Structure 1
Amino acid sequence: MVSGISSTRLSGLASGMDTEALVAKLMDVEKMPLTKMQQDKSWMTWQRDAYRDTNKALYDFNLKLSDMKYTKSYMSKTTTSSQPNAVTVTGNTASSNGSYSIQVNELATAAIKVGTQSLGSSFDPDAALSSDLHGDITFSTYNESGEMVTKSVTIAAGDTLNGVLKKISDSDAGLRAFYDKSSGKVVMERTATGDFNPVDPTTGDNDGEEIILGASSFFDFVNLSGSVEQNGTNAEIVYNGGLTLTPKSNSYTMNGLTFNFNTTTTSPAQITVDNNVDEAFNKIKEFIDEYNKLVEKLNGSLTETRYRDYKPLTDEQKEGMSEDQVKLWEERAKSGLLKGDSLVTDGLFDIREKWYTEVNTGGAYDLITDLGIGTSKEFLESGILTIKDEQKLKDALRNDPESVYKLFANNEAGSDKGLVYKLEASIKKTMTSIEERAGKSTSTNQQYTLGKRLDDLDDRIDDFQQRLATIENRYWSQFTAMEKAMTRFNSQSMYLSNQFGGF
């Protein structure tokens, strides 16, 4: 029932007509333009959501483009070691391919001090320390430049041994201090391996001690004051049989390769570095698969059948249908929301076109077809990419990965930009056009074209509903007037009948 209807109504008591049914049928005719507007509103709302769903797909793919901008996607390295338990190696995109030998004569060790005797089996490291141990304690270590660095911590009331050792470990001195329960001894060691305070080879000065403890009753109490330090040592490795190196850690980086030493060797470990063709190939293949999913979605939207006989249902129409009937109907009604849409068509065309632009890489591969990648011949797979010649792509990744990288991800200005950057620009352009028409979830209706049309439609619906209220009131007024007239006629007829009946 339309709002604003007069409360003074007479049903068909005098005429015998079903006045309410007659008015309802008349209003059904009058409501036809309103139904059309409500259906248009539903259609526009669905279409807006379909546009936004398309933009979501474009946005998600755009995120995947980021991974394809990095050299590691095309120029990762694979490494092998003949003695993986002793020497391992990792490479980056700058690593030179080739074979290397690594002889590990010595491993780097860290300086360590251990208490000279146990604190006793009954000692509790979590009990508060005696007050005569309270105060500042100092300790020193050496930095990378061989300079002494001194730190201090304060032992306060309530502090425990474990608490003080944690303060030392947290002091940025590069020390790890702890109480070993099984031996009952306190241990202090450097967190970094290497010899940071070497003995002067000329004069023999310096005992090489790296953990210097200040005079303190605390260090006396934990039996560290008289402890003899085991000094830290550098590693010793021989690279390719001719270069002896003494790094402070059991890791060494050179020429883009990071060597990690786990144990000494009796013979050199043989290291091989090569382009990781399979990983790069799979990365490109996965990227193409993601692109194809996007194209399939856009093609599906553009070619989806539109069932024009299945108009959006109004709330009144849904009342006479079951849930399954409504669901099946709306599946047809929502089909083809973007069929042949110009924004999606133009965007898809622009994206497909970018794949076939030339990029000046300075290498052997300037076009995607040079890598054995092309468009599917199937008509219904318009724009789908396929790797037509896998071996051709793998050979390119093996022989000139730099050129492949530039073809995809060159960040030079102008026409030399890689395909990924060109695709990104095209996608962002399409997303902007769609957003201007359909907005996004945070947009107000006045910020996009369809939203303005929806607002205008709402105003027209409100105006028409007011008009319907006036029309319905008029129908009821007319029928009520007729009923009143017929009531008067019937009364007069009865009166005259009674008068003539007396003769």
Structure 2
Amino acid sequence: MANDLSFMGSYSGIDMNTVNSLIEAESGKLVKFTNKQVSLTTEKNAWKDINTRLNSLYEKLGSLEKDETFQARTVKSSDETKLGITAKANAQLGDYSVQVNRLATSSTMTSGVISSLADKTMTIKDALGLDGEFSITNQDYDLKKPEENIATIDIKPEDSLKDIVGKINEKTKASGVQAKIVDKQIILTDTKMGARTFKLNAVNPEDTIIGDLGLDINTSVDAEKPNVGLGQSSEITVDGITITSDSNTVEDAIDGVTLTLKTLSEAGKPMTVTVKEDTAKTEKAIQEVVDQYNSILAFVGEQLSVGDPSAEKNKTGALVGDSSLMRLETGLRSLMTANVNNGSTSVKNMKDVGITVDREGKATLDTKKLKEALANDPTAVKNLFFTPDKTEPGIEGEPAVKINEKNGMAQKMRSLIDSYISEKTGIITNKSNTFDKEMKDISKSITSFNERLEKKRSNYIAMFTRLDTVMMQAESQMAYLASQFNPPSSK
């Protein structure tokens, strides 16, 4: 081929520039293929962006179904340093007077100075030379499940005080008792609060290991003994009613409210707990829906825009004229302005909660009107977005049947959105698959077209090379004939 290329054009004057011009003239269709690929990619990416935006709106609409969105509470303690407070969505509203009279504590047992450590040169890491076994049980001990409620501690001569405490704590889950070291003394503490007891028993009655550790043998926590302290319950007074609890976290004193007791109240100076409705969470959730709806409508408008047809270089949207996208735009706008059959007379459309839509489809939220609607009937506002299930009696003794008519605006809009974003049957999924197939077919066509062009290029080169060969041969023959008619003169 290299020799053919160097020879081509020697006589005819037709060189590679001529061949390239011929090929370029025939490659116009390739540009159409490439432009179509770019157009399909742009359309696919536009639908991908729409899918992301619709999915976000779908999730934000879903938050309007949750009770906590409409039943949020704000809680306040007049003194957070003494009384912490949290509230559930269904907490009872009101102001409560709370006096903390007593904090809950756990039962404890202290060993005192262990004789083996009386020597000041000994540390808690030195071996004590003690040998024996003892068990720990608390008042939750159940004879039916001794393996779950009894802990046996096996002490070896090489164990230090730190090792022994570690062994006790390894069995805390079974015994319910924790151990720690303070000034070379063991302090045993019940993991639960209140006036509870726990016992230490020697596994071998003749074993002195418990006494060697400075603890009481075969005894229980008793407030009258100097080395033990019986725990106590907490006590609070709420609106004049005294309540006790085996914890400093009290959950049942005020319905839906958890009180965390930190310190005692000053005598005669109760703290105030205030539980109010928190409409900020509801407002935020609805505002996010409105904002996302506007974002989608604006983006869809850009994709459907025909631009300015009179402009010389008019720019249109990537999906101009797409009927599926036009149906989506119309459906979303319609749902934002339609009445909802939810059985409410006070809240039946978006206007009733402060949402208005202009002629371009853009929505605006009037928070003042929304607050008024929430103050009057928060359940009706919620039912505007999600209608609750209806229960109809069964036929001829059959059980009752729950029916969800899905009349709420959010329910209908989520249904519309799902028809587009469903991974299996959604319109966008089907379009994406179609785009992929078309682009794959175009890629095959481009490959085939390029192969044909290369074949034509080779044919042109061969044809023009043969032309030069023929012209060379003709020139040679003409020279021969000329030599015959005009023989060289003799001297």
When normalised by structure 1's length, the TM-score is 0.78
Distance 1:46 1:495, change over 3 A: same
AA at the equivalent of 1:57: R
Q: Distance in 1 between matches of 2:417 and 2:138?
A: 57
- For residue 434 of structure 1, the aligned residue among 428, 438, 447 is 428
- For residue 215 of structure 2, the aligned residue among 224, 243, 246 is 224
Distance 1:463 1:96, change over 3 A: same
* 1:7-86 → structure 2 map (5 Å cutoff): 8-9=4-5, 10-17=7-14, 19-86=15-82
Question: Alpha-carbon deviations, 1:67-112, whole Å to 9, x = none?
Answer: 4332222221112333433333322221121222222222211111
8 Å contact kept, 2:77–2:84: yes
Q: Distance in 2 between matches of 1:51 and 1:21?
A: 44
Distance 1:261 1:457, change over 3 A: same
Q: Distance in 2 between matches of 1:39 and 1:465?
A: 16
Question: Alpha-carbon deviations, 1:330-361, whole Å to 9, x = none?
Answer: xx999732234322332233233333441516
Distance 1:185 1:214, change over 3 A: same
Q: Distance in 1 between matches of 2:141 and 2:336?
A: 52
Worse-matched range after superposition: 115-124 or 103-112 = 115-124
Gaps in structure 2 of 5+ consecutive residues = 218-225, 390-402
- For residue 395 of structure 1, the aligned residue among 353, 360, 372 is 372
Count of residue correspondences? 444
Q: Distance in 2 between matches of 1:174 and 1:420?
A: 51
AA at the equivalent of 1:236: E
Distance 1:39 1:169, change over 3 A: same
8 Å contact kept, 2:307–2:314: no
8 Å contact kept, 1:68–1:409: yes
Q: Distance in 1 between matches of 2:59 and 2:141?
A: 42
TM-align CA RMSD: 3.4
Map of 1:471 onto structure 2: 456
AA at the equivalent of 1:502: P
* 1:396-435 → structure 2 map (5 Å cutoff): 396-410=373-387, 412=389, 413-431=403-421, 432-435=426-429
Map of 1:246 onto structure 2: 244
Distance 1:349 1:235, change over 3 A: same
- For residue 440 of structure 2, the aligned residue among 455, 479, 494 is 455
8 Å contact kept, 2:294–2:363: yes
Distance 1:300 1:123, change over 3 A: farther
- For residue 277 of structure 2, the aligned residue among 275, 278, 293 is 275
AA at the equivalent of 2:247: S
Question: Alpha-carbon deviations, 1:114-146, whole Å to 9, x = none?
Answer: 22226455443345553x43x543101123999
Worse-matched range after superposition: 274-283 or 69-78 = 274-283
Shift of 1:22: 0.9
Q: Secondary structure at the match of 1:194?
A: coil
Q: Distance in 2 between matches of 1:454 and 1:333?
A: 26
Q: Distance in 2 between matches of 1:391 and 1:154?
A: 70
Distance 1:405 1:452, change over 3 A: same
Q: Distance in 1 between matches of 2:478 and 2:142?
A: 126
Question: Alpha-carbon deviations, 1:257-305, whole Å to 9, x = none?
Answer: 2222222222332322210123432333234323333333333333385
* 1:142-221 → structure 2 map (5 Å cutoff): 142-143=139-140, 149-155=149-155, 160-171=160-171, 172=173, 173-180=175-182, 183-196=183-196, 210-215=197-202, 217-221=208-212
* 1:288-327 → structure 2 map (5 Å cutoff): 288-303=290-305
8 Å contact kept, 1:46–1:334: no
AA at the equivalent of 2:430: E
Q: Secondary structure at the match of 1:449?
A: helix
Shift of 1:39: 2.4
Q: Distance in 2 between matches of 1:151 and 1:40?
A: 77
Q: Distance in 1 between matches of 2:404 and 2:350?
A: 18
8 Å contact kept, 1:275–1:398: no
AA at the equivalent of 1:292: N
AA at the equivalent of 1:252: V
Q: Distance in 2 between matches of 1:409 and 1:152?
A: 58
Q: Distance in 1 between matches of 2:67 and 2:3?
A: 78
Q: Secondary structure at the match of 1:214?
A: strand
Distance 1:136 1:274, change over 3 A: same
When normalised by structure 2's length, the TM-score is 0.80
